[in-house]
Amino acid sequence: MTNDMAPEEFRRAGHEIVDWIADYLANIREYPVLTARKPGDLIDALPAQAPETGEPIERILADFREQVMPSVTHWNHPRFHAYFSVSASGPGILGEMLTAALNVNGMIWKSCPAAVELEQVTMSWLRQWLRLPEEWFGQIYDTASVSSMHAVACAREQAFPEVRTEGGMRGAVAYTSEHSHSSIEKGCIALGVGQNNVRRIGSDADFRMKPEALEAAIRADLAAGLKPFFVTATVGTTSTSSIDPVPAIADIAERYKLWLHVDGAYGGSACVVPEFNHYLRGTERADSLVVNPHKWLFTPIDISTFFTRKPEILRQAFSLIPEYLRTAADPRALNLMDYGVQLGRRFRALKFWFVLRYFGHEGISHILREHVRMAAEFAGWVGGDERFELAAPHPFSLVCFRMKAGDEATKRLHQALDDSREAFLSHTVLNGRYTLRFAIGNIKTTDEDVAATWTLIQRLASEIIA
């Protein structure tokens, strides 16, 4: 007697779902990438109250297909080119199924040794691919926002250890580029640095932080009696995928004793490819690094990896061992709860282990190279069409471009693309100009997809200019 779904019922529904997923992924091009639904449509379509008595799983699955699916933006679609194009792979999805079934919480070693140790194994593997020094410690958080917040917390612990007990933090200053991710600013707000104490350093014509501007800002703050303590450099910024000059920033960080955090949430993934690894140059002198396997290493959302060469500072910042979790100390029995804000931890390493093994270093490198190659090809087409202009370099797989006819034309093109629901691009503003972002990152994207989207863009542009 069990209160749960009967095993045979689970088995039947599970098989049905696997078939549905296999068909969905195989036929993904038949779905529109964007929904035609309007805000509130799904809410209005569903009952305002939960059911009083249980419902059969068949009915829930039918409603999933008929009600929920039409409101989905298909991140799996090979013509999803918005934001960063994030995609899971088959082995990643399979690993996630097992994580859901095991349903362990890896907060301490005893609560699930497999979760704690497989995390260390996969982090060591990724560290080697990234060519980080062996002494770097890696662990898994949920998102880059949380990883970067922990980087700021480490920096605070290093520079102002009294803040942990006394609170407050006056005059501390953090440095980012005007192109660094919003999560850095948010992390600084959360931790009490204050938004006004986050300096957004200017960038050069290629959207890379200017080291001389960074140093000038630090010197001005020091002269004003303030306390610089943190700087972040980005390898693959969100707007344009630009790469900050990490070695020059590392020089400055060392000179002024700042914690240097490298945000490689997107670009870091590409650095597992041997010929792209140089983009991380200088990171071996940084204090921490974030790379998100859910962005561009084909692992389902969410998984963000955080590496630091000073794990003892991270531990100092957050360890609190309540009595009900105290266990006998064994140096190999790591308690992950000591390394962050979150006590609970999903078994995220499992899906990543599936992905790393299924593709291997060669397989993953091949896919990433292909993405970069296809993006370069797309950029070539854009550059060869006199109606368009490239808006930024494209070291990775993101191409920024706009219509020469001006913002109004580019915005109309964007709206027409959205309305087509055949391809999904997002936008940014560069030097005050509305700019489209074409990102490749989906494991299923082919040359044909890229060509089809370019044909669509050309056709819509003709209608706008005509």
User: Which 365-394 residues touch a second copy, going by CB under 8 A?
Assistant: 366-367, 370
Query: Which residues in the 194-233 window bind a second copy by CB under 8 A?
Result: 194-197
Among 444, 455, 465, 392, residue whose Cα is nearest residue 87: 444
Q: Which of 125, 256, 381, 454 binds a second copy (CB under 8 A)?
A: 125
Q: Is 315 in the site for a second copy (CB under 8 A)?
A: no
Rounded Cα distance, 417 and 423, in Å = 6
Rounded Cα distance, 263 and 235, in Å = 6
Q: Is 134 in the site for a second copy (CB under 8 A)?
A: no
CB of residue 455 to a second copy, shortest distance in Å: 19
Q: Which helix (H) or strand (E) holds 426?
A: strand 424-430
CB of residue 29 to a second copy, shortest distance in Å: 11
Q: Which of 259, 428, 441, 457 binds a second copy (CB under 8 A)?
A: 428
Q: Which of 33, 85, 138, 142 binds a second copy (CB under 8 A)?
A: 142
Nearer to a second copy among residue 103 and residue 462 (C-beta): 103
- List b or e across 169-192, with b for residues whose CB sees 16 or more CB atoms inside 10 angstroms: beebbbbbbebbbebbbbbbeebe
Query: Interface with a second copy by CB under 8 A: which range of 212-220, 321-329, 389-397, 404-412?
Result: 321-329
CB of residue 105 to a second copy, shortest distance in Å: 6
Half-sphere exposure at residue 60, Cβ-oriented, CA atoms within 13 angstroms: 9
Count other C-beta atoms under 10 Å from residue 21's C-beta: 15
Q: Which of 32, 57, 422, 433 binds a second copy (CB under 8 A)?
A: 57
Rounded Cα distance, 38 and 288, in Å = 42
Among 374, 366, 345, residue whose Cα is nearest residue 275: 366
Q: Which of 62, 98, 216, 222 binds a second copy (CB under 8 A)?
A: 98
Rounded Cα distance, 396 and 109, in Å = 38
Nearer to a second copy among residue 88 and residue 249 (C-beta): 88
Query: Interface with a second copy by CB under 8 A: which range of 74-82, 212-220, 255-263, 277-285?
Result: 74-82
Q: Which of 151, 153, 231, 271 binds a second copy (CB under 8 A)?
A: 153
Residue pair 226/258 in contact (Cβ under 8 Å)? The answer is: no
Q: What is the largest CA-CA distance in the chain?
A: 75
How many positions of this chain bind a second copy (CB under 8 A)? 166
Q: Is 31 in the site for a second copy (CB under 8 A)?
A: no
Q: Where are the beta strands (DSSP E) in 104-171?
A: 137-141
Q: Is 22 in the site for a second copy (CB under 8 A)?
A: yes
Q: Which of 165, 205, 224, 386 binds a second copy (CB under 8 A)?
A: 165
